[in-house]
Amino acid sequence: EIIVDEIRSYRDDPGQYVFNVFDEALFGDSPLGWEIAGDEASVRGLPTEEIRTFWRRMYQPANVIVAVAGDLEHATVVDLVASAFGQGNGVVGDYAPAPKLPNGERLTVVERQTAQAYLCLGVPALPRDHADTWTLELLNTVLGDGSSSRLFLTIREDAGLAYDVHSFQTDYSDCGTLQVYAGVDPGAVQPTVRAVLVELARLRDEAVPPDQLARARAYARGHMELRLEETRHLAAWLGVQEALHDRVLSLDEAISALDAVTADDIQRLAQQLFRDELLTMAVVAPPGGLPALDKALRLP
């Protein structure tokens, strides 16, 4: 019942639920398109012994990574980890490949009793460890990460269409996404979508000016440096890279990779990503509050 309550609570929050709607729209009927917690029927129908069997098979040393940062002795940590996780016969899990994307509906609108409309517009992007990973990092920074980004300045500051608008990226082993999120008045959905698409087209058609690229690079670099000053974030950095990447990248290597990205690199990647046939949008909005949006998903 606790898990079912959590599912209901999440679905009752339209600003969060729109991300699930987007994933289902983009990834379709595949693991990446399913809700992590499942639905009420699947949770209620899952036998307890099946959960225990899965836990015994997967939660084993072969699938465990322990990342530690701080004033510690390495040998002491190794001994502690060995004593806690030294026994077990688990196996490394197999992972289903991502489908060809987009794999679902280009536009999905879900009606909810809510004062605002919440939209998530995005495209398939890059898998982790792609050669253009750091190019995408700076493209996302210019587009919608932070108060100096284009989306923040044009949609929030200049047009006053949204209080919260930003972009972000996700990366998986063999696919990824670049998404734009905004919470707006229902009557502002269409102009907001148009404004977002204009900014995508600008990145596709025009090289980022040198001063803006320098600001984006400084922002991304400073964000990494500041986070890694905290021990818990340093441990997370090490653990995530060990688990998901080919090797652990040092901060200096990451900064060098950022510094190597050029405006031409960003424009080339934007031309690859920002195409009409790749656009997917999810909207959660009050009933009857939206104009037809089918023709809105077209880049200028």
Q: Which domains does the chain have, with CATH numbers?
A: 2-85 (3.30.830.10), 107-296 (3.30.830.10)
Rounded Cα distance between 50 and 40, Å, is 17
Rounded Cα distance between 241 and 167, Å, is 23
Structure token digits, residue 28? 């379709």
Query: Under 8 Å CB-to-CB from 277, ≥6 apart: which residues?
Result: 102
Rounded Cα distance between 252 and 250, Å, is 5
Q: Would you give the distance in Å from CA 122 to the centre of its chain?
A: 10
pLDDT tens-place values along the chain, 300 residues long: 788 888 888 888 999 999 999 999 999 989 899 988 888 888 899 999 999 988 888 888 877 889 999 999 999 999 998 888 777 666 666 778 888 888 888 999 999 999 999 999 999 999 988 999 999 999 999 999 999 999 999 999 999 999 899 999 999 989 999 999 999 999 999 999 999 999 999 999 999 999 999 999 999 999 999 999 999 999 999 998 888 887 888 999 999 999 999 999 999 999 999 999 999 999 999 998 787 787 789 999
